Structure 1
Amino acid sequence: MNKINNLEKIKGSNSYRKIAIATCFGTFLEWYDFLTFATLAVVFGPLFFPSSDPSTGLLASLATFGVGMVVRPVGAAIFGSMGDRIGRKPVFMITIALMGLATVCVGFLPTYSQVGIWAPILLVSLRLLQGLSAGGEIGGGAVYLTEHAGNQYRGFKTSFLQLMGPLGILVSTTQITLIQHYLSPEEFETWGWRVPFWISILLLIIAFKVRMTLEETPVFMELASQGEKTDSQLINNFKDTEIRKRMFILFFCISSSGAILFFCVQVYTAIFLKTTVQIPSELVDKLSIYGTVALLPLTVFAGWLSDKIGRKPVVLSGVILGALFIRPAFELLQNLGQIYITTGGQKAIVGIGLILTILSLSLALVVGPQTALLAELFPAKNRNSAATLPHNLAAGWIGGLLPLIVTWINQEWGNSFAGLWYPAIFLGMAAIAAIPWLPETNNRNLLT
């Protein structure tokens, strides 16, 4: 009982708000840095991977984006284990510095026309560093914030962390839209694309200073007082049958579904509308901003709803909605996009906005409760490594490679929608598995 009371006495509401803001800002910077590359994927193709076939350049650019996602599990294994041994806060300081420095360096890279093959080599190398950093941050941040949130209203209080990915895209997309508005296409291709990476210098300084004020979580301090923090839990996680089972559930039913929906809704829709439907980039960026803005309140609502009716029904409804709607949604997007290109009718744009809203709802229902779920699924001493590895494995290998896989399947089959069977079938299988296996974790005591 004393442990529970200690957890509930974490801090006053003002202190928790400070912790939440500091955690969220650092995670926002991670996502801003990581996803600016995705926003500029179409631009990077001719600059770093010149080819007579534009599709080949796009595939190479998407593959480089995917490389950063593939190594995320490696970063999760390294930093997740460190978080269980030395504490959550020290890992935060390392990951934010690594991500910030790698991103700033991208802004100073020479292009292929300047240094030849070294340009893509350097770009891929920096992308690898970004991936390692994201692997430690994304997932670890969820554990850190949830352990500070106490036992009440965790879904609502921690759902705000899930806004950082959309906000990272929103800020990145907005500033790129503004830069393109004020610069000519030639100026943007020459140096304008570098500006978002240069801005990371200022954001890195702010994030680092803010993170220095963070405190270690009360859960980890309780473990430290019991002498349990020195064990490396990474291998032990796979030896424990129940933890191994829950890691699989997290990977397959929650994190993979959230990653698929995130990259479909927040990344691939923009690529699809620009390259397949061929709607002007400026309009697509505005639609992407709208979709992101719509996602924000829906995510917080989903977190709040999971406190009321449970995590499982909320997450499951989002996975099912995504499985049923993903492929028809993109067919409707193409049809409405063609109507707009042919007639210029604004009703088509309104229709596209409605589709983006429904897609955002399916994503919000999965990720709104996700922050709390990541921590609630596992025992305190195993939590950081057990949560971060499957989460980043799903985000990196399932979600991060989704744009590349979908684009490749489309090109192989000569059909703009063939690749969308991949996320639709995956989500359907995740829903079937979640019905019997996904446990309800709402109101679980985090010190156990």
Structure 2
Amino acid sequence: MTATHASESQASSHSYKKVAIAACFGTFLEWYDFLTFATLAVVFGPLFFPSSDPSTGLLASLATFGVGMVVRPIGATIFGSIGDRIGRRPVFMITITLMGIATVCVGFLPTYANIGIWAPILLVSLRVLQGLSAGGEIGGSAVYLTEHAGDSNRGFKTSFLQLMGPLGVLVSTLQIALLQSYLTTEEFLSWGWRVPFWISLLLLVVAFKARMALEETPIYLHLSKTETQSKNPLRDNLTDPETRKRMFLLFFCISAGGAILFFCVQVYTSIFLKTSVKLPPPLVDQLSVYATLALLPLTVFAGWLSDKIGRKPVVVSGLILGATLILPAFHLLHSRSNSTFLVALTLIGLSAILALVVGPQTALLAELFPAKTRNSAATLPHNLAAGWIGGLLPLIITWLNQQWSSDVAGLWYPTIFLGSGAIVAILYLPETRNSNLNK
């Protein structure tokens, strides 16, 4: 390699690292804000949805979390089309600001005891704003990062974006555990639960400054110079048979599978261990931290592996293992609750399954679609799956458990979905690892 080429390679590597750090930090903030709701689901019940029946309060709290997920496809439709028409970068500035402001406002909300019915109404309204923002960010960030990643090792380079969800859960969980250890129960319920939302203001300032320095992707710049952007990306996507097919595959196999596993492993296990197994909340938070720490390197490994053997075999393996082992894993968690080691090991095993699906996911989102409609084609099915399938998962499982008077009956829902997704992926999902992103 000549000195000139070496210098260009170093500059390109430095530029990508800068882009990756800024994009990932913003996505971390989105997930941190978004998932703090899930972490505090048990706390929100009595504060905003008081009821004589604790199960009813928990369901209402989970429904509030689900509302933000349900509106994500609307945000994806709006911001995804904007990203294809005027660029990926402007969307990032809008979504990060919207998410940050909505989250900080949650930290100042009066509770039901202060203003009655207006408390849950305002909480749900802010949750809707969060959902719209997440719809534009999550999916669009995958396209942005992948278009900057180049042609080699895209699975490995972009897998780091998938760490932001687990890191958001980890930081939120650690914060709440720390607050609960230093505050009395009364202090935590009075004001301590607000602290993670207040901290969002500082994170918002840092993320906004980092994103101001981001550059538009070279692929979009080429589209704008040649004036080949789509004027109506959503219509173009829905009228093209091949794009429609790939949007369905992204929705049903990749995004829904990843969302189901993510919410089963990162969100519902914590709720299950606290409410059904009755483990002490501090212990559950500690175990969740171990599982999340294990997930981080496993996700990067899965992304690297997809560069070597292909995206499809890695994702399909995760779907099959998820369909096979989710139900037995939760039975084991319930029956071996007296063994902390076995519970921790089970959670780490579930994390490994999750990693197989989400590790290659960032690259896949971009590789499946043509450049001129990529942003909208990727963000809509991805957020539809994450919002309607993944986001409602804790609520649906909890409701099914109550209907069947069982702690695990509701887990047949994710089991059947993952199994169906695996079959469809085996038959129809294309291999995309060598795709040309400029087309």
TM-score range, shorter chain: over 0.9
Deviation per CA, 1:91-123: give whole Å up to 9, x if none.
000000000000000000000000000000000
What per-residue deviation string (whole Å, max 9, x for no partner) do you get for residues 26-82 of structure 1? Answer: 000000000001000000000000000000000000000000000000000000000
Equivalence for 2:162: 162
| CA–CA separation in structure 1 for the residues paired with 2:147 and 2:230 | 19
CA distance in 1, matches of 2:395, 2:249: 25
Correspondence for 1:439 among 417, 422, 430: 430
Residue 35 of structure 1: aligned partner: 35
In structure 2, stretches of 5+ residues that fail to align are: none
Does the 8 Å CA contact 2:230/2:373 hold for their aligned counterparts? no
Change (3 A) 1:308 1:171: same
Q: Which residue of 1 aligns with 2:287?
A: 287
Counterpart of 2:377, as a letter, is A
- 1:72 paired with 2:72, answer yes
- Alignment of 1:134 with 2:134, yes or no, is yes
Counterpart of 1:36, as a letter, is: T
Contact 2:73 2:384 in 1 (8 A): yes
- Aligned letter for 1:45? G
What is the CA-CA distance between 1:384 and the residue it aligns to? 0.1
Indicate conservation of the 8 Å contact 1:173/1:289, yes or no. yes
Q: Does 1:379 align with 2:370?
A: yes
Question: Residue 81 of structure 1 corresponds to which residue in structure 2?
Answer: 81
Letter in 2 for 1:373: L
Which consecutive residues of structure 1, in runs of 5 or more, have no partner in the other structure? 341-347
Which deviations, in whole Å up to 9, do the C-alpha atoms of 1:163-194 show, x marking residues without a partner?
A: 00000000000010000000000000000000
CA distance in 1, matches of 2:130, 2:277: 31
Match of 1:149 in 2: 149
Measured after TM superposition, the shift of residue 9 of structure 1 is 7.7
> Is residue 32–residue 168 contact of structure 2 (8 Å, CA) maintained in 1?
yes
State the match for 1:425 in structure 2. 416
- Answer whether contact 1:10 1:148 (CA < 8 A) is retained: no
Equivalent residue, structure 2, for 1:179: 179
Residue identity over aligned pairs, in percent, reads 75
Supply the AA of the counterpart residue of 2:128.
L
- Checking the alignment, whether the CA contact within 8 Å between 1:380 and 1:446 is kept in structure 2 is yes
Report 1:7-22 matches (<5 A). Answer: 12-22=12-22
Cα distance between partner residues in 2 of 1:358 and 1:443: 30
Matched residues in 1 for 2:10 and 2:63: separation? 44
179-188 or 10-19, larger mean C-alpha shift: 10-19
The answer to whether the aligner puts 1:227 opposite 2:218 as a matched pair is no
One-letter amino acid of the structure 1 residue matched with residue 36 of structure 2: T
SS at match of 2:377: helix
- Map of 1:381-420 to 2, 5 A cutoff? 381-420=372-411
Root-mean-square deviation over aligned CA pairs: 1.1
1:78/1:426 CA distance change after superposition, 3 Å: same
TM-score (norm: length of structure 1)? 0.96
- The Cα of 1:229 is off from its aligned counterpart by 2.1
1: distance between equivalents of 2:32 and 2:58? 21
1:361 lines up with 2:352 in the alignment:
yes
Map 1:169-208 → 2, pairs under 5 A? 169-208=169-208
Provide runs of 4+ in structure 1 moved above 4 Å.
Answer: 8-11
Paired AA for residue 22 in structure 1: A
In structure 2, the residue matched to 1:217 is 217
Amino acid at match of 1:421: W
Q: Distance in 1 between matches of 2:11 and 2:78?
A: 30
| TM-score of the aligned structures, taking structure 2 as reference length | 0.98
Contact between 1:10 and 1:150, CA under 8 Å: does it hold in 2?
no
TM-fit CA distance, 1:357: 1.1
Question: Which aligned pairs between 1:307-318 and structure 2 lie closer than 5 A?
Answer: 307-318=307-318
CA distance in 1, matches of 2:365, 2:109: 36
TM superposition shift of 1:12 = 1.4
Partner residue of 1:350? 341
Letter in 2 for 1:86: I
- The alignment of Structure 1 onto Structure 2 pairs a total of residues equal to 433
Q: Per the alignment, do residues 308 and 214 of structure 1 end up closer, same or farther by CA in structure 2, a change over 3 Å counting?
A: same
Q: 1:326-366: CA deviations, max 9, x gaps?
A: 000000001111xx2xxxxxxx1110111111100110000
Listed as ranges, the matches of 1:332-351 within 5 Å are: 332-337=332-337, 340=338, 348-351=339-342
